[in-house]
Structure 1
Amino acid sequence: MTKYSFLFLLVPISLYAQQPVVSRSVADSVQLAEVTVRGFETNRPLLETASSVNVLSAKDLTQRFGTPSLVPAFNTLPGVRMDERSPGSYRLSIRGSLIRSPFGVRNVKIYWHELPLTDAGGTTYLNALDVRSIGRVEVIKGPSGSLYGAGTGGAVLLSGPTNSGGEVANRAEVGALAGAYGLSGQNYSFQTGKNNSAISLNYGHLQSDGYRQNSRMYRDNLSVSGTFAVNEKQTVSVMGLYTDLMYQTPGGLNRTQFLANPRNARPSTPAIAGSVDQHAGIYQKTGYLGFSHQYRWNSRIQNTTVIFGSTTDFYNPFITNYEKRADQGIGARTVTRWQMIEEGVPTQLVFGGEYQQNFTVDRNYGNRRGNPDTLQADDELRASQSVIFAQLEATLPLGIIATAGLSRNEVAYGFTRFSVLPIVAQPRAFQPVWLPRVALLKKLGEYVSVFASISTGYSAPTIQEVRPSEGTFNSTLEPEKGTNLEVGLRGQLSRFQFDVAAYQFRLRQTIVRRSVVSGAEYFINAGATNQKGLEVQLAYNLVVPKPGGFWQSVRVWNSTTATNYRFKNYQQGAVDASGNRVTGVPPLVVSTGLDAETRVGLYAHATHQFIDQFPLDDANTVKSDIARMLNATLGFRKSLGKHWALDAYVSGDNLLDQTYSLGYDLNALGGRYYNAAPRRNITGGVKLAVRW
């Protein structure tokens, strides 16, 4: 099915590509050729980028949906899945990496303003960010280790708000929102750019009582960035954020409990107390500070070097224990771009390296109704990660762009338990790994291109996997390794825009989660997986803007993900699960939307998502429910004089009033797979902005 679907799309598009190109005015309404991506340091139009990259704009992030969250925007992209099992608890999957993520973000490398947000231990505190302070997201799908280091899922590049010219606008904005289940929030932002400097400041507050018992949350986020041109050759930037986040964790329900009352938290049993009794939740304070220095040696050579540090205090009263963790991390990354040849066969060399180091103090206590009790474990962990890389890109005759990259990756951990005598340090260093990537892109006329790539992936176990909540140090867990083959086609034909990618990823030493009776998890290597997928992103502009016309834009779009992920040589205890579908990966996800804006200021967005059934356990004996979600936003934007602007909106979520789980606990003991999503609910908000 997947193979023939790809051929069905490929053949007619290739034929149309031979037709005369459309006029510039029509092409500009789609702007595919003008969308520049930073992924793999190409800084090329998306049409000339030989990889699967999706871009989310500020409008996608903060206008299409009423609730300020990354989750719904990420879920409009093919091959990407983001869960929020309770407000503030993010779980991100790119092309199926969710299998090893009971919570949080793993196996995906994330950068914020070119600074690594993913630390040396593989942990990413993505929920420390406020979506209202993000202006653009690039999602690179598939192994990207040739330039970004370890990780088989992909990479995400986050940046701050910019105007259409790429520079910070002079503006200030205040906003407020309110919605169902005690949702409320405020946001204050300030951006200015003058002469050789630019400053951006954002403060956001969000709180909710939650749909379920024990699912209250609040988050206060402050972020700041400043860029200063020292002279014609040098630019210095500083970026920082601080977040105070709390969210309660209601826990998973079994099928009977989910159907009886999906709003309940995990109940107590005679043997184990429930989420409410144990005050289960996360208390997280994160600080991050980074500096960037860009030096332009001449028109052909420039270097960007960043240094950064982070600190996180993490408290987690869990059902069976109380964890206190303190993370401290430092690191640096340097990238040099050299335009070696400008004429004939333009050739660019990108090279550099990245180093990170983390120190973690992790203590587990007994949990007595939300208060730490007897000390159970007192551990220190050290993590280091380094990568050196080089990439050569050449523009060949006949419209061919060739890319070849290579990186060397090294990861090491150290573990010491002080609560057990004798005190013995346990180091674990993984063998250095070389990760190559080769890609070719061919332009078919001015508005269509086709690409093919082969890349290797490598993902060492994270700190939370070698020292999971089960409490032991796993010195035998091996890294995942894999090879990805991919072909893609993208372009635009008149008002029609398309982006199609088909891939096969063979993963070895797959890391999977297991859990004990209490719900605490541990991880093992369990064979291999064969992952085949097709990703299609389509859009069509129903109208072309005309001077004085009522409609500024009316656009329909569709994102479809079709997968066939299978276990290979996969053993689950005494059971051979080879040939089964990979747990937690839907065979089909379809998102469809309509975006409309008018000259008088009215705008509307409607988004529908269909998620097919998928297995919740490795044995494929339990499947999820089919999910159909409908979201719609209606707003009005009005200029008040020359400098002021008002934006008011109302947004509805789960308008079909479905009962579904917004994030399943995979392979959960006792069948506690379900985390119920809110029923139909409404959110409204208003923003007032001034420009100068």
Structure 2
Amino acid sequence: MNKSLSVLLLFPIAVAAQQPQPSRLETDTVQLAEVTVRGYETNRSLMETAASINTLNVRDLNQRFGQPTLVPAFNTLPGVRMDERSPGSYRLSIRGSLIRSPFGVRNVKIYWNELPLTDAGGTTYLNALDVRSVGRVEVIKGPSGSLYGAGTGGTVLLGGQSSSTGQQASRAEVGVTMGSYGLAGQTYTIQTGKNNAAISLSYGHLQSGGYRENSRMYRDNLNLNATFAVNPKQTISIIGLYSDLMYQTPGGLTQAQYLANRRQARPATRVSPGSVDQRAAIYQKTGYLGFSHQYRWNDRIENTTVVYGSLTDFANPFITNYEKRADQGIGGRTVTRWQMIEAGVPTKLVFGGEWQNNFTVNRNYGNRAGQPDTLQADDELRATQSVIFAQLEATLPLGIIATAGISRNEVAYQFTRFSVQPVVAQPRGFEPVWLPRVALLKKLGENVSAFASVSTGYSTPTIQEVRPSEGTFNPTLEPERGTNLEAGVRGRLSRFQFDLTAYQFRLRQTIVRRSVESGAEYFINAGATNQKGLEAQVSYQFVVPKPDQFWQTVRLWNSTTLTNYRFRNYQQGDVNVSGNRVTGVPPTVVVTGLDAETKVGLYAHLTHQFIDQFPLDDANTVKSDVARMLNATIGYRKTLANRWTLEAFLSGDNLLDQTYSLGYDLNAFGGRYYNAAPGRNLTGGVKLAVRW
């Protein structure tokens, strides 16, 4: 593939460690054969799932790293990169999908407790979630449109922390976090799970002064998760979320500015003021309410139907303008699982549909030192998405599991500008597309399996791409299309676990970002890419835990990602950059960790990340710096009187005190690529919980 393949020979170990645990107090001895995943509605063990899926559990999300953010946990997964260019500003990439994401989450479909969190316009307010309320993550890598709709990057399934119906204990927890650069936060959680009802309510506050100038943030987050067993056949759930988020945006720096003073915000230029002058920031309030109904017709047929409504109030004083946006979303999804044949050749049929509608009011004003000025544009956008899908899964003789799925996807937009006369609605519809997927898995004994799959990818432009900050409506932007070939092997040999996947994804009509001198962006279809990759996870468990043994967990793990992404038939203005590396995708990423837990409650986690140089522009004339980050966390957890649990931790980030960028602005005008990361910093916290 490329010279980076040699790295795999040096690091043939990669994490099979992101596996769910029934309890945070249990040790990490869960085997691949016991990890049940929900991806592609298989509800099988990971060993029997013919797809590239990684999982994160409560321990990965809320114990291994002290910083209360999703970023470091996601970055332990091969093929996944997450940035936080300033506190609260998430950017997620799965297998190179970052090229069209100057900010936010695009080209990735995300579900929250089975409810669509990504709206009909392709926008996901992932930063509205508090990682401390997330209990489980599944990342499906590559096109998954046969079941989840349009998207070429992947799908993320998020689950909250909640009680189970019938659980006879209630629980309350309070936590305090403090750290460098003004980091401070509190969490309050109460859960009850008695008789036929389970309710979880949590509140979290987080604030930071920020490492850079103009990078302060705060977030208040309220989560509700309630489940009621109406009768043996029916279960109803209510999921609610409210988030009040503010984060300042310091802006990208040129290399000279970055080296001179990496803590400064973007300074003024001859044509535009700086970030501090314009009070550049994001103000985002999000409310989300969803209902889920599960009905079990009999032992072979069950249905889950969800509906949701969402409201987002968004304001962004930017360098060039002041954007105010209001998003209203509604939608639903229904999935029926039918075990058609139980004996002989067990066969399962999954079918259903998803529908979403989004209405956005978007107004741009002049920005006068952080205050809206003269109205520049007054727009309305409507977006509708619909998906119908079906998937057949059969367990054949000789340990073979075959899966075939297909979906029909339809997307339409309507844009109306009221600030220009005459007022004319501009529709933009895309032809319905059928997205198939076929996969085969062969069990090679009890502890090893191999799989292969072929899937198609299709991703329409998001609302933020057809109507970007540059302010024009682009009705000519075409969807991305691609085909993905994938093969993998995973298994367990005694204490050693491994998960290896190779893939090739050919993408056409690639959507990419361009920017003007002021920093405002617009998007175009620029050509095609050929994306080859190899992802590996392995872990080795040094001890087998026993009840009276001091060492309960001692585990070494590693995650390695090797890529060779190249442009094909790719134009950048008048320049053909075919053959160049795809912008923003590192050829080599290696993450290595050591986890240890003891019977007395002491635990420690050590994590090192290596990120190789990668191009920051399509011409490949500018490259990132090599990044080496070391993180360590030590903690103590003790149960008192069988009711109280006390936990304290101390975590250090960037312990090597490296100079690196949190996330680069790709193809940035004027060479403003750099967003400096904090130097060496510490985070500590205490949690106290009680059961009754």
Shorter-normalised TM-score: what interval?
A: over 0.9
Q: Is residue 559 from structure 1 mapped to residue 559 from structure 2 by the alignment?
A: yes
Deviation at 1:67, TM superposition (A): 1.0
Q: Which residue of 2 aligns with 1:158?
A: 158
Q: Secondary structure at the match of 2:564?
A: strand
Q: Normalised by the size of structure 2, how large is the TM-score?
A: 0.96
* CA–CA separation in structure 1 for the residues paired with 2:598 and 2:152: 42
Contact 2:165 2:198 in 1 (8 A): no
* CA–CA separation in structure 1 for the residues paired with 2:362 and 2:197: 41
Q: Which residue of 1 aligns with 2:683?
A: 683
Q: Which residue of 2 aligns with 1:457?
A: 457
Q: Which residue of 1 aligns with 2:284?
A: 284
Q: Which residue of 2 aligns with 1:208?
A: 208
Q: Which residue of 2 aligns with 1:433?
A: 433
Contact 2:614 2:624 in 1 (8 A): yes
Q: Which residue of 2 aligns with 1:533?
A: 533
Task: For 2:236, give the aligned amino acid.
Answer: V
Q: Which residue of 1 aligns with 2:613?
A: 613
Contact 2:586 2:612 in 1 (8 A): yes
Q: Is residue 500 from structure 1 mapped to residue 500 from structure 2 by the alignment?
A: yes
Cα gap change, 1:198 to 1:534, in 2 (>3 Å): same
* CA–CA separation in structure 2 for the residues paired with 1:322 and 1:3: 47
* CA–CA separation in structure 2 for the residues paired with 1:633 and 1:530: 39
For 1:462-611, list aligned pairs within 5 A. 462-611=462-611
Contact 1:328 1:359 in 2 (8 A): yes
Contact 1:6 1:502 in 2 (8 A): no
Contact 1:162 1:168 in 2 (8 A): no
Q: Secondary structure at the match of 2:549?
A: coil
Q: Secondary structure at the match of 2:544?
A: coil
Q: Which residue of 2 aligns with 1:224?
A: 224
Q: Secondary structure at the match of 1:391?
A: strand
Contact 2:165 2:227 in 1 (8 A): no
Cα gap change, 1:28 to 1:582, in 2 (>3 Å): closer
Contact 2:164 2:198 in 1 (8 A): no
* CA–CA separation in structure 1 for the residues paired with 2:231 and 2:391: 29
> Which runs of 5 or more residues in structure 1 are unaligned?
14-26
Task: For 1:46, give the aligned amino acid.
Answer: L
Q: Which residue of 2 aligns with 1:174?
A: 174
Cα gap change, 1:62 to 1:166, in 2 (>3 Å): farther
* CA–CA separation in structure 2 for the residues paired with 1:319 and 1:348: 54
Moved more, 247-256 or 163-172: 163-172
Contact 1:2 1:533 in 2 (8 A): no
Q: Which residue of 2 aligns with 1:48?
A: 48
* CA–CA separation in structure 2 for the residues paired with 1:324 and 1:291: 29
Q: Secondary structure at the match of 2:71?
A: helix
Q: Which residue of 2 aligns with 1:325?
A: 325
Across the aligned residues of Structure 1 and Structure 2, the Cα RMSD in angstroms comes to 1.7
Q: Secondary structure at the match of 1:276?
A: coil
Contact 2:162 2:225 in 1 (8 A): no
* CA–CA separation in structure 1 for the residues paired with 2:483 and 2:675: 34
For 1:234-273, list aligned pairs within 5 A. 234-273=234-273
For 1:647-686, list aligned pairs within 5 A. 647-686=647-686
Q: Which residue of 1 aligns with 2:17?
A: none
* CA–CA separation in structure 1 for the residues paired with 2:176 and 2:656: 26
Q: Which residue of 2 aligns with 1:445?
A: 445
Deviation at 1:196, TM superposition (A): 1.1
Deviation at 1:165, TM superposition (A): 11
Cα gap change, 1:537 to 1:8, in 2 (>3 Å): closer
Q: Which residue of 2 aligns with 1:33?
A: 33
Deviation at 1:31, TM superposition (A): 1.7
Q: Deviations over 1:604-645 (max 9, x none)?
A: 001000000000000000000000000000001111111001
* CA–CA separation in structure 2 for the residues paired with 1:268 and 1:78: 39
Q: Secondary structure at the match of 1:194?
A: coil
Deviation at 1:236, TM superposition (A): 0.6
Q: Secondary structure at the match of 2:72?
A: helix
* CA–CA separation in structure 1 for the residues paired with 2:681 and 2:301: 53
Q: Which residue of 2 aligns with 1:298?
A: 298
* CA–CA separation in structure 2 for the residues paired with 1:425 and 1:163: 48
Deviation at 1:4, TM superposition (A): 10
Q: Which residue of 2 aligns with 1:375?
A: 375
For 1:6-155, list aligned pairs within 5 A. 29-155=29-155
Q: Deviations over 1:448-473 (max 9, x none)?
A: 10000000000000000000000000
Q: Deviations over 1:636-663 (max 9, x none)?
A: 1111111001000000000000110010
Task: For 2:606, give the aligned amino acid.
Answer: A
Deviation at 1:8, TM superposition (A): 8.6
Task: For 2:374, give the aligned amino acid.
Answer: T
Task: For 2:317, give the aligned amino acid.
Answer: P
Q: Which residue of 1 aligns with 2:387?
A: 387
* CA–CA separation in structure 2 for the residues paired with 1:642 and 1:442: 45
* CA–CA separation in structure 1 for the residues paired with 2:30 and 2:164: 15
* CA–CA separation in structure 1 for the residues paired with 2:123 and 2:282: 15
Contact 1:242 1:285 in 2 (8 A): yes
* CA–CA separation in structure 2 for the residues paired with 1:639 and 1:346: 45
Q: Secondary structure at the match of 1:545?
A: coil
Q: Secondary structure at the match of 1:582?
A: coil
Moved more, 163-172 or 453-462: 163-172
Cα gap change, 1:28 to 1:242, in 2 (>3 Å): closer
Contact 1:291 1:306 in 2 (8 A): yes
Q: Which residue of 2 aligns with 1:316?
A: 316
Task: For 1:527, give the aligned amino acid.
Answer: G
Contact 1:560 1:590 in 2 (8 A): yes
* CA–CA separation in structure 1 for the residues paired with 2:674 and 2:164: 43
Deviation at 1:312, TM superposition (A): 0.2
Task: For 1:97, give the aligned amino acid.
Answer: S
Q: Secondary structure at the match of 1:257?
A: helix
Contact 1:268 1:274 in 2 (8 A): yes
Q: Which residue of 1 aligns with 2:23?
A: none
Task: For 2:35, give the aligned amino acid.
Answer: V
Q: Which residue of 2 aligns with 1:23?
A: none
* Alignment coverage as a number of residue pairs: 677
Deviation at 1:29, TM superposition (A): 2.8
Q: Which residue of 2 aligns with 1:401?
A: 401
Deviation at 1:270, TM superposition (A): 3.0
Task: For 1:197, give the aligned amino acid.
Answer: A
* CA–CA separation in structure 2 for the residues paired with 1:5 and 1:34: 31
Deviation at 1:263, TM superposition (A): 0.1
* CA–CA separation in structure 2 for the residues paired with 1:683 and 1:166: 37
* CA–CA separation in structure 1 for the residues paired with 2:522 and 2:451: 40
Cα gap change, 1:377 to 1:485, in 2 (>3 Å): same
Deviation at 1:2, TM superposition (A): 5.9
Q: Which residue of 1 aligns with 2:638?
A: 638
Q: Secondary structure at the match of 1:118?
A: coil
* CA–CA separation in structure 1 for the residues paired with 2:256 and 2:655: 25
Contact 2:28 2:553 in 1 (8 A): no
* CA–CA separation in structure 1 for the residues paired with 2:631 and 2:168: 31
Moved more, 575-584 or 160-169: 160-169
Contact 1:162 1:169 in 2 (8 A): no
* CA–CA separation in structure 1 for the residues paired with 2:332 and 2:65: 35
Deviation at 1:195, TM superposition (A): 1.3
Q: Which residue of 2 aligns with 1:17?
A: none
* CA–CA separation in structure 2 for the residues paired with 1:30 and 1:446: 15
Q: Which residue of 1 aligns with 2:24?
A: none
Q: Is residue 423 from structure 1 mapped to residue 423 from structure 2 by the alignment?
A: yes
Task: For 2:211, give the aligned amino acid.
Answer: Y
Contact 1:30 1:541 in 2 (8 A): no
* CA–CA separation in structure 2 for the residues paired with 1:103 and 1:328: 21
Moved more, 382-391 or 263-272: 263-272
Task: For 1:289, give the aligned amino acid.
Answer: L
Q: Which residue of 1 aligns with 2:16?
A: none
Q: Deviations over 1:71-102 (max 9, x none)?
A: 00000000000000000000000000000000
Q: Normalised by the size of structure 1, how large is the TM-score?
A: 0.96
Identity of aligned residues (%): 81
> Which runs of 5 or more residues in structure 2 are unaligned?
14-26
Task: For 2:515, give the aligned amino acid.
Answer: S
